[in-house]
């Protein structure tokens, strides 16, 4: 069921701090240091972004406006009856990755890594749903600036620069609701630096690489030029930089195969977090996350996720993604290559992600 460059990296980031990743860290560290949550939840200041250039497929130039206000503390989700972890029946969390290294997230950016995680507390089950960045969809709230549709990876960006109430997170959530018919309850935003530091603090991860990677034109970390990135097939130990390169590379295949790599890495992180060997690394893990993520998850919700994560067996984690056979390729009038969703083909994926019909 696998369905999901610069532009590129972000795709991994979404996969990174999935609830499955965050919850595992919170579970262990909460046992050692109950007061750590407040430090993690500090919100970086929002700054007025610089004037931005015209986007493909959109007329005119972006105006410089005050970014959307940070999402206000969302309403608590109702606790499900019989739930010992105190969580709701279901919590859908957006994992959004941006190709940025600054920790304050002051520069609005596209979210080129987009994964949704559904945690079903009563069922002790979870699902991952990955969405390609070039999916061309209707977007709400932007009539006043003449935008009716665009790539889904622009939703967060538009919410920030066009002053949508609630900013980028609200615009992204509304876009998902409009196009897929379900609500995203919370979000986590991460970047390059957060991913590398997190995996390194974890002591690396082990990933079963199904197909050897040979990419002679992988973007160099300096931002100029290219390097050769090779990785043999089989079980591989990866540090943060290697894992980042593995989820970014796409030149030997396509974005949809890259989605598969992202989900493999996300599950590998989940497995490492829930292993006994990770406990001594908890302080370093928390340090790697501090000020490197933006989220509207509350302390109580983090505690609930920390409680349920160890109870979700790997066999109870389903993966879904929108792949090439679920879209129609199209070129916009301005020459942009995008993917039009085949909604009839995507509907069963959404049903499975929501736990319906299982």
Whole-number percent of the chain with pLDDT over 90: 52
Contact 149, 137 (CB under 8 A): yes
CA 152 and chain centroid, separation: 13
In a domain, 245, yes or no: no
In a domain, 42, yes or no: yes
In a domain, 292, yes or no: yes
The domain total for the chain is: 1
The answer to which of 105-109, 121-125, 135-139 has the lowest mean pLDDT is 105-109
In a domain, 263, yes or no: no
| Beta strand pairing call for 317-321 and 125-130 | parallel
Whole-number percent of the chain with pLDDT over 70: 76
SS (H, E, C) 86-107: CCCCEEEEEEEEECCCCCCCCC
CATH number for the domain spanning 299: value is: 3.30.420.590
In which domain, by residue range, is 191 found? 6-202+279-353
Q: Is the pLDDT of residue 209 over 50?
A: yes
In a domain, 209, yes or no: no
Mean pLDDT for 145-152 is 96
Q: Is the pLDDT of residue 323 over 70?
A: yes
pLDDT at 291: 65
Q: Is the pLDDT of residue 198 over 90?
A: no
Between 19-32 and 282-289, two packed helices, what is the crossing angle to 10 degrees?
Answer: 130
* Higher pLDDT, residue 5 or 104: 104
Contact 308, 86 (CB under 8 A): no
pLDDT at 72: 57
List, as own/partner pairs, every contact residues 287-290 make where C-beta atoms lie below 8 angstroms and the sequence separation is at least 24, other chains included.
287/201, 288/194, 288/197, 288/198, 288/200, 288/201, 289/17, 289/22, 289/25, 289/40, 289/194, 289/198, 290/39, 290/40, 290/42
In a domain, 255, yes or no: no
Residue 68: pLDDT band (50, 70, 90) is very low
What tens digit of pLDDT does each residue of 28-66 get? 444 444 444 444 334 333 333 323 233 333 332 233 333
What tens digit of pLDDT does each residue of 286-313 get? 666 766 788 999 888 988 998 999 999 9
Give pTM, 2 decimals: 0.78
Mean pLDDT for 264-269 is 92
pLDDT at 102: 63
In a domain, 258, yes or no: no
| Beta strand pairing call for 317-321 and 149-151 | unpaired
In a domain, 285, yes or no: yes
Q: Is the pLDDT of residue 178 over 90?
A: yes
């Amino acid at each position: 069921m696998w369905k999901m460059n610069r532009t590129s990296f972000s795709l991994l980031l979404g996969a990174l701090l999935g609830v499955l990743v965050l919850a595992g860290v919170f579970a262990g560290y909460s046992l050692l240091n109950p007061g750590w949550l407040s430090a993690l939840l500090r919100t970086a200041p929002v700054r007025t972004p610089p004037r931005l250039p015209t986007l493909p497929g959109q007329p005119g130039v972006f105006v410089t406006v005050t970014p959307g206000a940070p999402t206000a503390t969302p309403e608590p989700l109702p606790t499900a009856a019989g739930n010992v972890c105190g969580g709701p029946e279901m919590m859908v969390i957006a994992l959004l990755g941006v190709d940025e290294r600054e920790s304050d997230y002051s520069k609005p950016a596209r979210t080129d890594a987009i994964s949704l995680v559904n945690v079903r507390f009563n069922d002790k089950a979870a699902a991952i749903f990955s969405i390609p960045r070039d999916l061309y969809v209707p977007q709400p709230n932007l009539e006043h600036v003449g935008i009716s549709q665009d790539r889904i990876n622009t939703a967060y960006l538009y919410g920030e620069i066009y002053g949508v109430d609630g900013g980028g997170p609200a615009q992204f959530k509304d876009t998902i609701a409009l196009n897929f018919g379900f609500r995203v309850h919370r979000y986590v935003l991460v970047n390059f630096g957060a991913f590398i530091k997190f995996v390194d603090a974890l002591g690396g991860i082990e990933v079963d690489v199904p197909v050897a990677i040979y990419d002679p034109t992988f973007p160099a970390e300096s931002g100029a030029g290219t390097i050769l990135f090779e990785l043999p097939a089989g079980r591989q130990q990866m540090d943060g930089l290697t894992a980042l390169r593995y989820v970014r590379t796409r030149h030997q295949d396509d974005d949809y195969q890259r989605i598969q790599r992202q989900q493999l890495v996300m599950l590998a992180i989940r497995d490492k977090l829930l292993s006994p060997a990770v406990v001594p690394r908890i302080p370093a893990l928390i340090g790697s996350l501090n000020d490197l993520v933006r989220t509207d998850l509350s302390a109580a919700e983090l505690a609930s996720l920390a409680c349920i994560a160890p109870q979700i067996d790997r066999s109870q984690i389903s993966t879904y993604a929108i792949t090439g056979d679920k879209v129609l390729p199209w070129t916009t009038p301005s020459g942009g290559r995008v993917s039009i969703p085949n909604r009839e083909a995507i509907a069963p994926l959404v049903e499975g992600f929501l736990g319906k019909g299982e």
